[in-house]
Structure 1
């Protein structure tokens, strides 16, 4: 019984640790081991360095890994050239290594190769330790770089599919927008006290804040997803979040206009109805074409209405018309997105 309890405790600990181990950690560990084994069985000197190169080359995205490896290979080639000249002229000593760094670091900075400075310098120390820059050692160090970097690149070809995660942010964005539009509709049609009105405003601004957070997170994960698409380019998610971000800016302006409208008015009820319809059909698959037409009809109706009777009514109508124009633009953005982007996917 005691052994069973101990076994259960160990399994719990191991399970907890495994939950903390991400895919990048697994790829780094496996990749480093594979790189070391390859270098060892190829009888390379300093074979453990291949594993270190792999550890330093595994990145969060596929494209970033390819870029890093490419620049590190260039950096290593430049470092070897400078090191060969330095060591053969000055000798294999600390002074020569210092001269190498004095020359190599500025060159690496000039060509934006800073990521390769440390790694290339470590490989150069092998020349120093062996007192040789013969072809044998140049090939040895080059193979260490190729194996370590190559294994890292292969490891980074295996990336998780982020589309499910991105879809959760799409859902969060659309849910927030639905809540905002419903809140705006309530503000246009509900007669409440000043305290209750202030609470409605506060709630909508809070949802707008949540919307912005979801948009930022969605755009960040979309950028990461695109960085993992090595052989194909798909800007759908990028276009989607850009469209929603532009809509967010319009919603902020619409909320500001609403707070300048003193209370429910007849024209506002028609806008509120259109907002409720929009809230119910926010999904990306909806073209919003009918909604655009409805709002355009409202705009024409407003233009034909009688002139305001006093200053207060004039200012109210101005804010309402500004609100309607922003709402029209909100719907046009969705319609354009559907026409140009969504219909192509």
Structure 2
């Protein structure tokens, strides 16, 4: 028999804002004498988003859709009749119209207003003003609540630290794999770092959308830089597995990657590591030439590995430092 497992849940700031906003919106709408005052809570639920930008966009879409739905429904119901067939006709015209003007996000909210029109059995100026006031109350409460967003600085810094630690582990394992023939690398260790980076980029992007006067985030650029490096690390896995441990070059590569693992978070040692890398490339001409296919394949993998490591270091050197 299949068992169901309850998912753990923690009440977050968005949940608390939604609950508080619904209560406040209903109380204010009721105090203002708005008919159907409880519908103000629906607007709050739909407009409290996880970023300020999304909240503003949601509020605008719903305001425009509700206003269009109100005017369209008032006109059609008065011209034809207040019956279910006409209700369907209103929605049939209304939804394509919102798609054309780009406010389809507010369709559900506007349908509530359209149903208010349908239930009224008669549109008056007071009814229209009542619905507009209802819309304004709900949207205003949601926007005011969304003025507060938590500071994600610590979260972003924690992601940065975690990613650097994961990179350090990856490079350390690369170095060890180049020393010992019994170590065979797989992609899992790099895949975990890529997953962490994607989560970090998502948080950094939300931080951008919480600032109206800033359209970029230095942490986002930093995580994007690490994503490019992680893709290079992913390609290095097979190259390291193909480097023969009988070739003396493997020791030099191991030492270089070991030094890189010690300075993942530093920007001062990138130039030094590039110098060491170029020294290895220049010294390759003094190594014995491959004598068979196996040694040729190993030398080619080692050469390609140096090219990938060079790109890895150049990406970091072009980024510079993280501006907080």
Aligned to 2:124: 134
- In the superposition, the TM-score normalised over structure 1's length comes to 0.84
Aligned-residue offset at 1:303: 4.6
Does residue 54 in structure 1 map to residue 54 in structure 2?
A: no
Structure-2 separation of matches of 1:268 and 1:142: 74
Aligned-residue offset at 1:283: 0.7
Aligned to 1:73: 63
Structure-1 separation of matches of 2:322 and 2:24: 45
Structure-2 separation of matches of 1:28 and 1:262: 61
Does residue 253 in structure 1 map to residue 235 in structure 2?
A: yes
Q: Deviations over 1:264-303 (max 9, x none)?
A: 4322222222211111111165461221222122222225
Aligned to 1:11: none
Aligned-residue offset at 1:110: 3.5
Alignment partner of 1:30 out of 20, 23, 27: 20
What SS does structure 2 have at the residue aligned with 1:197? coil
Structure-2 separation of matches of 1:321 and 1:273: 15
Stretch of structure 1 that moved more, 68-77 or 166-175: 166-175
Question: 1:189·1:264 contact (CA, 8 Å) conserved in 2?
Answer: no
Structure-2 separation of matches of 1:44 and 1:24: 26
Matches within 5 A, 1:128-167: 128-167=118-157
Select the structure that is richer in helix: 1
Aligned to 1:242: 224
Q: 1:103 to 1:177 in 2, by over 3 A?
A: same
Q: 1:183 to 1:145 in 2, by over 3 A?
A: same
Question: 1:181·1:276 contact (CA, 8 Å) conserved in 2?
Answer: yes
Does residue 333 in structure 1 map to residue 323 in structure 2?
A: no
Structure-2 separation of matches of 1:78 and 1:206: 52
Stretch of structure 1 that moved more, 304-313 or 128-137: 304-313
Does residue 321 in structure 1 map to residue 321 in structure 2?
A: no
Question: 1:188·1:264 contact (CA, 8 Å) conserved in 2?
Answer: no
What SS does structure 2 have at the residue aligned with 1:125? helix
Structure-2 separation of matches of 1:324 and 1:148: 60
Aligned-residue offset at 1:344: 5.0
What SS does structure 2 have at the residue aligned with 1:170? helix
Stretch of structure 1 that moved more, 329-338 or 43-52: 43-52
Structure-2 separation of matches of 1:344 and 1:156: 27
Aligned to 2:281: 299
Number of residue pairs aligned between Structure 1 and Structure 2: 316
Question: 2:58·2:105 contact (CA, 8 Å) conserved in 1?
Answer: yes
Aligned-residue offset at 1:304: 5.8
Q: Deviations over 1:198-249 (max 9, x none)?
A: 3xx24xx332232122122212222222222233233212111111111111
Q: 1:29 to 1:68 in 2, by over 3 A?
A: same
Aligned to 1:4: none
Stretch of structure 1 that moved more, 209-218 or 297-306: 297-306
Q: 1:189 to 1:223 in 2, by over 3 A?
A: same
Q: Give structure 2 stretches of 5+ with no counterpart.
A: 1-8
Alignment partner of 1:83 out of 73, 76, 87: 73
Question: 2:201·2:220 contact (CA, 8 Å) conserved in 1?
Answer: yes
Structure-1 separation of matches of 2:68 and 2:258: 64
Q: 1:318 to 1:38 in 2, by over 3 A?
A: same
Q: Deviations over 1:119-161 (max 9, x none)?
A: 1121122223333333222121111111101111111121112
Aligned-residue offset at 1:70: 0.8
Does residue 97 in structure 1 map to residue 87 in structure 2?
A: yes
Stretch of structure 1 that moved more, 205-214 or 177-186: 205-214
Structure-2 separation of matches of 1:217 and 1:84: 47
Aligned-residue offset at 1:343: 6.0
Aligned to 1:276: 258
